[in-house]
Chain A
């Protein structure tokens, strides 16, 4: 009765608060992570020393797969709608505008574009589609595509990107470049994987000297 007991501190810590924080952060990261959109077209890009990060907004992406088939991807829904309406009015394709807007990429000749949009999304893969015809210089349909897309952007800045597969042959690349040139799109960017600058090279010396690289 006489002696006061020293309170014995427990070694257990209340983890609830920490758990709360952990899961708050977790949900933040889950929500902000942009997962790669399901790649219907398998492409392995080459690597380059370019340090500029590829843009991810307002892009018009031309993909060349390993067989030299060409696909077109757009991300802006409004533009897609304008493009679809334009295609319908100029070429009478009878496209389902809603399906056109939902489609991730386009990779068929104009003549079969309407039926292409009927195919369920998961069955549209690069392997079964024919790609946009480009090889024939008299009927380079990418020309028309780029013209229409360019019209839809109407002076707004669009990011023209080219993503090619390592193994694709040069003629397909050239056909795409020709289509760009025809539409006065002299500037474009090629999607690559980052690579470090070789030690001892001229560029390496420049960066070591602290000079800014002009891209």
Chain B
């Protein structure tokens, strides 16, 4: 009996004479599949919630044809920002001199101080920021300067068309002074 046992199957502890049809288990290890599933879930969660674009609201003033209908602003409270080529910003307070002596140059990192300085010197109800973009400035410049308005909590500002001589002045100033960024 013992000899017959060893010949039929080596080392198995089954009883003698038991036929050994190999029994394959139907169970599959699902761990890697779960891993993969959760990996994909994380991916989808991250891609859905991230990068929601935001919207910056802008109200345009109604075009007033007659000068009487236009909004008046106190000269002392007005600061005009001009956007030039290559991210340059120029500004002047009040009216532009004939000799353009109060025409100063700045850039996007320096303009915040200028605005805050003006804000601290002017009573709030008089303060108006006039934004004039030259045709050389980009969309990004305009959005940046509008953003600057909300960063510095300047409530009254207007996007105004640039005049011809201002456009010229900006062009010349850009050519003269290499922009510092």
| Closest Cβ–Cβ distance, residue B69 to chain A (whole Å) | 15
Query: Would you call A41 an interface residue if the criterion is a C-beta within 8 Å of the partner chain's C-beta atoms?
Result: no
* CA distance in complex: A29, B31 (Å): 21
A46-B144, A170-B137, A171-B135 known; A22 vs B38 contact (CB < 8 Å): yes
* CA distance in complex: A139, B143 (Å): 26
Instruction: State which residues 52-110 of B face A: CB under 8 Å.
Output: 52-63, 83
Q: Which residues of A contact B40 (CB under 8 A)?
A: 26
Query: Would you call B153 an interface residue if the criterion is a C-beta within 8 Å of the partner chain's C-beta atoms?
Result: yes
Q: Which residues of B contact A191 (CB under 8 A)?
A: 53-55
* CA distance in complex: A129, B138 (Å): 21
* CA distance in complex: A186, B30 (Å): 59
| Closest Cβ–Cβ distance, residue B144 to chain A (whole Å) | 7
A15-B31, A22-B38, A26-B37 known; A198 vs B151 contact (CB < 8 Å): yes
* CA distance in complex: A193, B137 (Å): 20
A19-B33 in contact (CB<8A): yes
Q: How many A-B residue pairs have CB under 8 A?
A: 162
* CA distance in complex: A38, B143 (Å): 25
A206-B151 in contact (CB<8A): no
Report whether over half of chain A's contact residues are helix, strand or loop; otherwise say mixed. mixed
Q: Could you say which interface size class chain A belongs to?
A: 35 or more
Query: Would you call A32 an interface residue if the criterion is a C-beta within 8 Å of the partner chain's C-beta atoms?
Result: yes
B37-A22 in contact (CB<8A): yes
- Select one of A32, A164, A194, A201 contacting B139, CB under 8 A: A164
Query: Would you call A143 an interface residue if the criterion is a C-beta within 8 Å of the partner chain's C-beta atoms?
Result: no
Query: Would you call B168 an interface residue if the criterion is a C-beta within 8 Å of the partner chain's C-beta atoms?
Result: no
Name the residue among B51, B56, B116 with the largest chain A CB count within 10 angstroms: B56
B34-A33 in contact (CB<8A): no
Query: Would you call A180 an interface residue if the criterion is a C-beta within 8 Å of the partner chain's C-beta atoms?
Result: yes
Query: Would you call B150 an interface residue if the criterion is a C-beta within 8 Å of the partner chain's C-beta atoms?
Result: yes
Q: Which residues of A contact B126 (CB under 8 A)?
A: none
A206-B153 in contact (CB<8A): yes
B29-A48 in contact (CB<8A): no
A48-B54, A192-B53, A192-B55 known; A19 vs B34 contact (CB < 8 Å): yes
Q: Which residue of A lies closest to B35 (CB)?
A: A22
B151-A203 in contact (CB<8A): yes
* CA distance in complex: A174, B143 (Å): 13
A19-B37, A166-B139, A170-B139 known; A201 vs B57 contact (CB < 8 Å): no
B60-A202 in contact (CB<8A): no
Instruction: State which residues 117-172 of A face B: CB under 8 Å.
Output: 161, 164-172
* CA distance in complex: A26, B40 (Å): 7
- Select one of A23, A48, A53, A204 contacting B143, CB under 8 A: A48
B112-A201 in contact (CB<8A): yes
Query: Would you call A40 an interface residue if the criterion is a C-beta within 8 Å of the partner chain's C-beta atoms?
Result: no
Bitwise interface map of A from 181 to 209 toward B, beta carbon under 8 Å scored 1, else 0: 10000111111111101100111101000
- Supply 9 further A-B pairs (C-beta < 8 A) apart from A32-B48, A189-B57, A193-B53: A30-B44, A46-B139, A50-B55, A52-B55, A53-B54, A165-B139, A167-B138, A174-B161, A202-B152
Binding site for B on A (CB under 8 A): 15-16, 18-19, 22-23, 25-26, 29-30, 32-34, 45-55, 64, 161, 164-174, 177, 180-181, 186-195, 197-198, 201-204, 206, 215
11 contacts between A and B (CB under 8 A): A19-B33, A29-B48, A32-B48, A45-B53, A50-B150, A52-B55, A166-B140, A169-B137, A171-B135, A174-B133, A202-B152
Which 8 pairs across A and B sit closest by C-beta, in order of nearness? A22-B37, A15-B30, A29-B44, A189-B55, A164-B139, A166-B140, A54-B55, A50-B56
